[in-house]
Amino acid sequence: MQDAQTLAPPGPRPGAQDVGEAIDTDTTVLPEVEVTDERELQRPVEIDLPPDRPVTVINAAAIERRQASTIFDILKDIPGVAVDGGPRASGMKFNLRGFSDNEDVLFKVDGAVKGFEKYRFGSGVFIEPELLKALQVERGPSVTAGSGALGGTVSATTKSAADFLKPGQTFGSEVKYGYNWNSHERLRMVTIYGRPNAYLDLIVSVARRDSDDFRLPDGEPLELTATASESRFVKASVYATDDLVIELSQTRYTGGPERAPYDATATGAGGFGIVVRA
């Protein structure tokens, strides 16, 4: 015979009320937050151009290391810079970011603007690399460069006698002879420099180039590329005071007599014919 057991109705578990009270106590109700957005189309009042622009400076040591035959050879591997025109030095032009006309590319010598414009001609730059102390290329327009620099500015700083003279020397000279096997070009250059006193600095240089026509890879000559030219450079610097230096310089180029295409920037005669430049 089994004992009868009385089952009590289920009731709350011990401690259940305490747990519920703990949950209600730990719950934090955050207040409602309303997020709104209002946009108004505003145009800038002014646009500030960045002060830094792509500028490349080549010093005298780098120029000497490149062993360039012309000023155009110094810049041929700079990004954004190319050389346009024909194979003659008289037809070569600077190309900065696609701009190659003389009215778009500014050229300066010792801070002075060298204005040159001749129809179907190059940039008119005939300075031997040995006479350059530094060469700076500024790609793109610049407010400080002035007009004529839509493509950029090429600035050349020429040497003085102090850059050639060794300590204790007053006068000196250099002689250079170069030869190009392709066109049989002969280069003869003489430079005389001196600083007789602490206030005067003088330098005179004359370079002569004579060559035959260039030879193409197949051995055939490229007609009308023979040259006979002479370039002269004279510079005088006067040190008036510790803060004032007066510099006067002149560059002169003569070519001929030679048969050359009227369009010096073209490879051949083109549609402008052939002339004899004296």
Amino acid at 230: E
- For the chain, the residue count is 278
Higher pLDDT among residues 231 and 276, named by residue:
231
Smallest CA-to-CA distance from 191 within 229, 247, 235 is with 235
pLDDT tens-digit map of 164-191? 999 989 999 999 999 999 999 999 999 9
| DSSP SS3 for 44 | coil
- Asked if the model's pLDDT at residue 12 lies above 70, the reply is no
**130: phi > 0 → left, psi -120 to 50 → alpha, else beta; which?**
alpha
pLDDT at 86: 79
Structure tokens at 159: 């040497």
Amino acid at 182: N
pLDDT at 25: 60
- Rg (the chain; Cα; Å): 38
- Asked if the model's pLDDT at residue 46 lies above 50, the reply is no
Q: What is the mean pLDDT of residues 52-73?
A: 86
- Asked if 261 contacts 268 with a C-beta cutoff of 8 angstroms, the reply is yes
Domains of the chain: 55-270 (2.170.130.10)
Rounded CA separation 230/219 (Å): 28
- Asked if the model's pLDDT at residue 38 lies above 70, the reply is no
pLDDT tens-digit map of 76-132? 888 889 888 878 878 888 899 889 888 888 999 998 888 776 777 777 788 999 999
Which residues lie across from 185 on neighbouring strands? 180
What is the average pLDDT score of the chain? Answer: 82
pLDDT at 52: 56
Percent of the chain whose pLDDT exceeds 70: 82
